[in-house]
């Protein structure tokens, strides 16, 4: 009987200890999982904030690019009265391409629609300058070319491609900003 009593004594202390140990394990596991989830959520929020800043910066850069290639600002910035019309055309085209290449990396932060719009505007602007140049005398001065560009802009009843693109970019930024508050 001694052995039976000893076994019962051991069981009497072992079972409650096992129950306490199992309960403690479950509580600690639940706590650790909860802490891990909180850390993941905090990391996700931090990453999302950084991504949001990068996206907004990219949209800012796209707006700046569009403003810089707008005929109203570009022609005045590049114009030199000592140039020929051809030299001014080349200078304008090179400036647009350089500005665009400077902003190529921004395409990863903006939507496909925004990027395709910006690319399309670049091509439309270059084509506009080329068409105006083709319609002129090869010996024309930069002043004549400048006047023809300004005349074209003033006569145009439609919005300039840069203005249309700016509206699209602004609409997209509003959408991005409205998702941030969610």
pLDDT tens digit string along 63-119?
A: 999 999 999 899 999 999 999 999 999 999 999 999 999 999 999 999 999 999 999
Task: Give the Cα separation of 2 and 130 in Å (integer).
Answer: 109
Domain of 108 in residue numbering reads as 51-180
Whether 150 and 75 have beta carbons less than 8 Å apart is answered as yes
| Residue 8 located in a structural domain | no
pLDDT of residue 154 exceeding 50, the answer is: yes
Number of domains into which the chain is organized: 1
Identify whether the C-beta of residue 59 lies closer than 8 Å to the C-beta of residue 53.
no
Segment holding 86, helix H or strand E:
helix 85-102
- Assess if residue 137 is contained within a domain: yes
Domain annotation covers residue 95: yes
Domain membership flag for residue 101:
yes
What is the pLDDT at residue 182?
A: 41
Q: Which helix (H) or strand (E) holds 108?
A: none
Once rounded to an integer, what is the mean pLDDT over residues 8-37? 87
What percentage of the chain reaches a pLDDT higher than 90?
Answer: 58
Residue 165 lies in a domain: yes
For residue 43, being part of any structural domain is answered with no
pLDDT of residue 119: 96
Residue 88 placed within a domain: yes
CA distance 95 to 78: 8
**15 found inside a domain:** no
Residue 115, pLDDT score: 95
- pLDDT at 180 (0 to 100): 57
| pLDDT of 174 above 80 | yes
């Amino acid at each position: 009987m001694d052995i039976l009593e000893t076994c019962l004594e051991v069981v009497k202390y072992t079972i409650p200890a096992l129950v306490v140990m199992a309960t403690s394990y479950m509580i600690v596991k639940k706590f650790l999982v909860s802490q891990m989830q909180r850390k993941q959520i905090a990391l996700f929020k931090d990453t999302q904030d950084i991504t949001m800043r990068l996206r907004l910066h990219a949209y800012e850069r796209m707006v700046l690019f569009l403003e810089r290639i707008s005929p109203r600002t570009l022609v005045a910035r590049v114009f030199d009265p000592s140039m020929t019309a051809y030299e001014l055309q080349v200078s304008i085209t090179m400036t647009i391409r350089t500005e665009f290449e400077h902003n190529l990396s921004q395409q990863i932060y903006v939507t496909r629609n925004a990027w395709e719009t910006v690319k399309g505007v670049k091509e439309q602007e270059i084509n506009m300058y080329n068409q105006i140049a083709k319609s002129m005398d090869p010996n024309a001065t930069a002043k004549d070319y400048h006047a023809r560009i300004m005349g074209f802009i003033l006569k145009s009843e439609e919005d300039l491609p840069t203005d249309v693109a700016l509206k699209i970019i602004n609409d997209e930024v509003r959408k991005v900003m409205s998702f941030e508050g969610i």
